Amino acid sequence: MSEVNSASLQGFGDEAFKVAVYIEKRPPMPAWQQLYHLHAMQTGQINEINQACGNGWRKVFNVYSKVLFALPSEFYDFAKRAPDWQTFRDEQLLQAHSQTTLLFSPPILNKPKQLHIIAGRTYAKQLINNGLLDCQLTWLDDEFAINKSSKVIVCPYFDYRQLSNIKIARLSQLVADVVS
């Protein structure tokens, strides 16, 4: 990743990411409101955010970990790195060498091996309307959209009700279609 691009990435995770999830709002904690770079999480920081910010952020991290565990194993090895998604969340998610990010900045689509998941149709449309998404999306329905050449998928927001297990399975199938 070039220095210019890594400097403009704002969020949590590993600079050498294979999977990036884009979310509109940051955790409402002073330390994260002024985050203007990519911060590799340390063990326990996800739990600190969960404790300070409540159930909404707990759902984001839980669903993210569940999504990683559901990704096709022929392309991603997240499910092989820990005995279950909870252990992966607590010990690896968004940390250095995890190959995962949670970004509050717009997508930068310059690496062909990276998967970009935009959490929420409303956020995706906001990115498009503001000229911050550099690709055309094909909307499959009201919730999912893809751009295969840029490896971009829009899915429901990372919440149990919006991105249920059935929809996580659909997302996994779309990932297989996009990355194959």
Long-range (24+ apart) CB contacts under 8 A made by 126-129 are 126/24, 127/22
What does DSSP assign to residue 142?
S
pLDDT band at 3 (very low <50, low <70, confident <90, very high): very low
Which stretches does DSSP call E strand in 58-166?
A: 100-103, 115-119, 138-139, 145-147, 152-155
Q: What is the pLDDT of residue 106?
A: 95
Q: What gap in Å lies between CA 66 and CA 120, rounded to an integer?
A: 17
127 touches 107 (CB < 8 A): yes
109 touches 152 (CB < 8 A): yes
Please write the tens of the pLDDT for every residue from 148-168.
999 999 999 999 999 999 999
Please write the tens of the pLDDT for every residue from 89-139.
999 999 999 999 999 999 999 888 899 999 999 999 999 999 999 899 999
**Residue appearing with tokens 């909404």:** 56
Q: What is the pLDDT of residue 110?
A: 86
121 touches 156 (CB < 8 A): yes
Please write the tens of the pLDDT for every residue from 21-45.
999 999 999 889 888 899 999 999 9
| Joined tokens for residue 41 | 């999480």
Give pTM, 2 decimals.
0.94
